Structure 1
Amino acid sequence: MRAFLILHGWGNFRPPGHWQYELAAALRERGERVVYPQLPDAQQPDLSAWREAAAAALAEASEGEARVTVIAHSLSAMLWLGARPDDTEAGSAVERVLLVAPPSPGYLRENPEVAAFAALEPTRPAAGTRIVASDADPCNPEGAVAVYAEPLGIPLTTIPGGGHLTPASGYGRWPSVLDWCLDPTATIVPR
């Protein structure tokens, strides 16, 4: 059995039209098990509360020994890199992780609402983790290659000119992410 855990970013209230909302709907339409929680206080995120909510969501997704694919965008990608739930609590359930548009610590420090997340020390995730990021992300001006992919040894797919990979930058339905969820060999490409 498999399940999908979708974690949103800062200021995201899971709006229709966002690629994560559309992904959750498309996976559910195919009969997949999806856990897509509203993380607490998305406008003023608290690191401890988000970590606890992510841990609870992972536990829910992994019920029945499900193999979990995590899809985290923006601030949740940083959360996963630096404060991910202890996978042993969920029976080593995480099989694959897609980190989309993780913001840089420098960007986080510049924004008081999320500055606490900048103190997280990203650690090398388990095999099966990959990053998808734009080469023009205002939330990571240093670039995902330099900040995360190279130092942590995480495979990276670069989306040219994709901004922060939000609806404002054209990322509503994103068919190749759905394809990747259903088939780990699928390639993620620009929308």
Structure 2
Amino acid sequence: MTTYLILHGYQNRRPPGHWQHWLAGELRERGHEVRYPQLPEPEAPVLDAWLAALEEHGGRPAEGEFVVLAHSLSVLLWLRAGARRPDADRVLLVAPPSPPVTASIPGIAAFADGLDLTETGLDARLVYGDGDPYAPEGADVHYGDPLGLDRDFVPGGAHLSPDSGYGEWPSLLKWCEDPAVRIGAR
């Protein structure tokens, strides 16, 4: 059995129309353990509270594979956790906001403050779309290139959220079951 930790982003209360909500249900139906916690105060997130929630829900299971899927602001949470990051077998970083955009939003600016994007050896895959208003330069510029991440580009994906049509996302589900699968458009 695989355990999945799904981490949402800013202002996200885990709505049913979001790909994360859909994915959690699909994975549970297949018999996997899914942790999909509501992070504290998503409209006014506090970095330390989100780090504490990551520690609370990110414990590695005694057996099986452990996979983390982080979307949007929780990508920065994952990167900011550093040595406090849970030990994961696979990590998927989806549509992170650029540091300049994050720094320009007072409610989440602390997530970008002091963000180290020079870390080497980070074993993760980046999934991003073009036209993302939260990463207008492209997530590859701020994350993929500097961190040397494997990446999947989704043409027309924007922020890979319900607003850009990402509720059901079959290729992402296929990746969960087989890490060799490349993630594409819905």
Shorter-chain TM band: over 0.9
Q: Aligned residue for 1:105?
A: 99
Higher share in helix: 1
How far apart are residue 85 of structure 1 and its match?
A: 5.9
RMSD: 1.4
Structure 1 CA distance for aligned equivalents of residues 121 and 103 of structure 2:
23
What secondary structure sits across from 1:80 in the alignment?
Answer: helix
SS in 2 for 1:64: coil
Residue 138 of structure 1 corresponds to 133
Matched, 1:14 2:36: no
Matching residue's letter, 1:17: G
Match of 2:147 in 1: 152
Say whether 1:126 aligns with 2:122.
yes
Aligned equivalents of 1:42, 1:85: Cα separation in 2: 23
Which residue in 1 is equivalent to 2:52? 52
Tell me what 2:81 maps to.
83
Deviation, 1:66, is 3.7
Q: Distance in 2 between matches of 1:56 and 1:125?
A: 25
Deviations 1:76-127 (A, max 9, x none): 011112225624xx5x3x1000000011110011110100011122334533
Percent identical:
50
Conserved 8 A contact 1:81-1:124: no
What does residue 172 of structure 1 align with? Answer: 167
Q: TM-score, normalised by structure 2?
A: 0.94
Q: What is the DSSP-based 3-state SS (H/G/I as helix, E as strand, rest coil) of the residue aligned with 1:97? A: strand
Distance (Å, rounded) in 1 between the aligned partners of 2:70 and 2:158: 16
Establish whether residue 39 from structure 1 lines up as the match of residue 36 from structure 2. Answer: no
Which amino acid is the alignment partner of residue 182 of structure 1?
E
1:72 aligned partner, one-letter code: A
Structure 1 residue identity aligned to 2:183: I
The CA distance in 2 between the partners of 1:76 and 1:25, in whole Å, is 20
Tell whether the 8 Å contact from 1:45 to 1:113 is kept in structure 2 after alignment: yes
Q: Number of residue pairs matched?
A: 184
Give unmatched runs, 5+ long, in structure 1: none
Cα separation, partners in 2 of 1:163 and 1:17, compared to 1, 3 Å: same
Letter in 2 for 1:28: R
Name 1:181's counterpart in structure 2: 176
**4+ runs deviating over 6 angstroms:** none
- Find the partner of 1:70 among 68, 71, 81: 68
Amino acid at match of 1:113: G
TM-score normalised to structure 1 length: 0.91
